[in-house]
Amino acid sequence: MAERSEDSEEVKLLGMWASPFSRRIEIALTLKGVPYEFSEQDITNKSDLLLRLNPVYKMIPVLVHNGKPISESLVILEYIDDTWRNNPILPQDPSERAMARFWAKLIDQQICVAAMKVAGTIGEERDAAVEETRNLLMFLEKELVGKDFFGGQSLGLVDIVATLVAFWLIRTEDLLGVKVVPVEKFPEIHRWVKNLSGNDVIKKCIPPEDEHLEYIRARMDKLNIKSA
Amino acid sequence: MAADEVKLIGSWASVYVMRAMIALHLKSISYEFLQETFGSKSELLLKSNPVHKKMPVLIHADKPVCESNIIVQYIDEAWNSSSQPSILPSHPYDKAIARFWAAYIDDKWFISLRSILTARGEADKKVAIAEVEERTELLEKAFVDCSKGKPFFNGTDHIGYLDIAFGSFLGWLRVVELDAGHKFLDEIKTPSLSKWADQFCNDPSVKPIMPEITKLAEFARKLFPKPQA
């Protein structure tokens, strides 16, 4: 998972193994072949280091490059793309870049929020959250037509950000007890998940399935959420 | 539409529309402004932004660009000749810091500002005011760090991405200050931001499009009516 190099001080990532926001940074760094030191953080008992490096939000992930910290995963991803220019995450064309940023924001600010509501509610409220998530995902479904990945033939920003949908939403559907993203309604998204799952960088950087599901099950029990 | 024609769908009172306008003015780009009618959404808006159905939407060479900060970055990237000012800072780290604070302003600072206008009762209002105070103080510190002794957040002698992100709120901030009877920017609490606000509002790319405070205050009363006693 974490790679060591002679310059292990140069790039450090404060993260958490089960967090989609932390994992997406690892994907970007791995995609670009950037060696980094990973520092697993206990988010229930935040370290002085974390509080010092991200005093505003006190959250992971935090990337530290040459001693300077950067927080907020979308900001970090753009920084990585601006700094290491090989294997670009964002397209060259300005209007395509704008679209990628648009979808990334939609995923984080709306799809993620709706999906969390599905996990945290029951009954009618949950049904509404499922419908909201599906309506939003339909936009992504249409985006994928004729493409292997959101980024075209290779992984891009939106793929990296949308791993949240593939490996944190779809992966946990059995635990949630509701097929939020049924294959009949979302064939393109499911095809994309297959493409993702066959990609070496993704395979290397996502949490191992069994441990991940166990972790989520334990969290749901703790929060008194009924797991299927 | 000609290949290089630019249209902006928006409204005079919107902070987010203002961001796009400032960026266009900074780059001396001519554009057609399509004013939306309050209370209804035009066909063009709904067609150009089917996901959110919100303004601003920039239409350039027939392609729509949505979300104000994304539009500002688009403008910077699409019109990037060396004779035009750069909106984002050039160094990746400075870019990251600008993006960080711009997101903070939308996700945190503005949310607490708006809750002053929607507060029900004095107690709620007081909590909201305290929160805005705290968050504005953070931005005062951010200004000192980002500006590096220059007049703007951009760290240069001209306005940039973060100046636009925050400065576009100055009209509304003034309206809230008047409504709440409380100043958030002043020479004692926020000396740097206070000075910056003056310079921002007088910038040639900003002055002609900053809405009049009385007009804005009237509009605010329409948007946020006071609950009946």
Cα distance between residue B151 and residue B201, in whole Å: 12
Q: In this predicted structure, what is the pLDDT of residue A6? A: 40
Angle between helices B15-26 and B170-180 (to 10 degrees): 140
CA-to-CA distance for A103 and B143, rounded, in angstroms?
30
Q: How many CB atoms lie within 10 A of CB A171?
A: 18
CA distance A82 to chain B (A): 6
Q: By percentage, how much of chain A surpasses pLDDT 70?
A: 94
DSSP structure class, residue A18: T
Distance between B70 CA and the closest CA of chain A, angstroms: 6
Q: Are A12 and A36 in contact (CB under 8 A)?
A: yes
The proportion of chain A whose per-residue pLDDT surpasses 90, expressed as a percent, equals 91
Global pTM reads: 0.95
pLDDT at A226: 63
Domains B6-79 and B92-223 share a fold: no
Residue A8 pLDDT grade (very low, low, confident, very high; cuts 50, 70, 90): very low
pLDDT of residue B226: 75
Query: Which residue, among B67, B76, B100, would best test binding to A if mutated, counting the most A CBs under 10 Å from its CB?
Result: B100
* B95-112 pLDDT, tens digit each: 999 999 999 999 999 999
Find out whether A12 and A37 touch, Cβ atoms under 8 Å: yes
Q: What is the pLDDT of residue A31?
A: 98
Q: Do A71 and B65 lie within an 8 Å CB cutoff?
A: no
Q: Does residue A4 have a pLDDT over 70? A: no
Residue B1 in this model has a pLDDT that exceeds 70: no
Contacts of A97 in chain B (CB under 8 A): 73-74, 77
A17 contacts chain B (CB < 8 A) = no
Average confidence (pLDDT) over B197-223: 94
Report residue B35: phi and psi, to 5°: -75, 125
> What's chain B look like in SS3?
CCCCCEEEEECCCCHHHHHHHHHHHHCCCCCEEEECCCCCCCHHHHHHCCCCCCCCEEEECCEEEECHHHHHHHHHHHCCCCCCCCCCCCCHHHHHHHHHHHHHHHHHHHHHHHHHHCCCCHHHHHHHHHHHHHHHHHHHHHHHHHHCCCCCCCCCCCCCHHHHHHHCCHHHHHHHHHHHCCCCCCCCCCHHHHHHHHHHHCCCCCHHHCCCHHHHHHHHHHHCCCCCC
CATH architecture of B6-79: 3-Layer(aba) Sandwich (3.40)
pLDDT tens track for A151-184: 999 999 999 999 999 999 999 999 999 999 999 9
| Residue from A10, A25, A53, A70 whose CB has the most chain B CBs within 10 Å, to mutate | A70
Q: Domain B92-223 - what CATH class?
A: mainly alpha
The superfamily CATH assigns to domain A11-83 is Glutaredoxin (3.40.30.10)
A88: preceding bond cis by omega (within 30 degrees): no
SS3 state at A42: coil
Q: DSSP 3-state assignment of A64?
A: strand
**Residue B65 and residue A74: Cβ atoms within 8 Å?**
no
User: Is-contact A146 A9, C-beta < 8 A?
Assistant: no
Residues forming a β-bridge with A202 = none
Closest alpha carbon within chain B to A76: B96
Place of tokens 């601003």: B56
List the one residue out of B82, B85, B71 whose CA is nearest residue B27: B85
Residue A146 — left, alpha, or beta (φ > 0 → left; ψ -120 to 50 → alpha)? left
b/e map A190-205, b = 16+ CB within 10 Å: bebbebbeebebbeeb
Q: How many pairs of residues across A and B have Cβ atoms under 8 Å apart? A: 57
CATH classification (class only), A94-222: mainly alpha
What six digits make up the tokens of B182? 């409380």
Of the two residues A214 and B222, the one the predictor is more confident about is A214
Stretch(es) of chain A classified as CATH 1.20.1050.10: 94-222
- Which residues of chain B have a CB within 8 Å of the CB of A138? none
Measured between its terminal Cα atoms, the distance across chain B in Å is: 52
The ipTM assigned to this model is 0.95
Q: Do A95 and B60 touch (CB under 8 A)?
A: yes
φ, ψ of residue B210 to 5 degrees: the values are: -70, 125
B66 in contact with chain A, both atoms CB, cutoff 8 A: yes
Q: A79 and B92 in contact by Cβ < 8 A? A: yes
**List of chain A residues whose C-beta atoms are within 8 Å of the C-beta of residue B165:** none
Nearest to A75 by CA among B167, B16, B106: B106
Q: State pLDDT tens for residues A101-134.
A: 999 999 999 999 999 999 999 999 999 999 999 9
| Helix, strand, or coil (residue A26) | helix
* Angle (nearest 5°) at CA B113 between B111 and B119: 95
Q: Considering only alpha carbons, which residue of chain A is nearest residue B79?
A: A94
**In Å, how far is B178's CA from the nearest CA of chain A?**
28
**Residues 28-57 of chain B whose Cβ lies under 8 A from any Cβ of chain A:** 51
What are the angstrom distances between the C-alpha of B30 and each of A43, A67, A98, B62, B200? 50, 43, 20, 15, 21
Is B103 an interface residue toward A (CB < 8 Å)?
A: yes
Which tens digits make up the pLDDT trace of A11-65?
A: 999 999 999 999 999 999 999 999 999 999 999 999 999 999 999 999 999 999 9
For tokens 């249209």, name the residue.
B7
Contact A102 B78 (CB under 8 A): no
In chain A, which segments carry CATH 3.40.30.10? Answer: 11-83
Residue ranges per structural domain of chain B: 6-79, 92-223
A1: pLDDT confidence band, cut at 50, 70 and 90?
A: very low
Gap between the Cα atoms of A61 and A77, Å rounded: 11
Pull the structure tokens for residue B196: 């910056």
Check if B110 contacts A (Cβ < 8 Å).
no
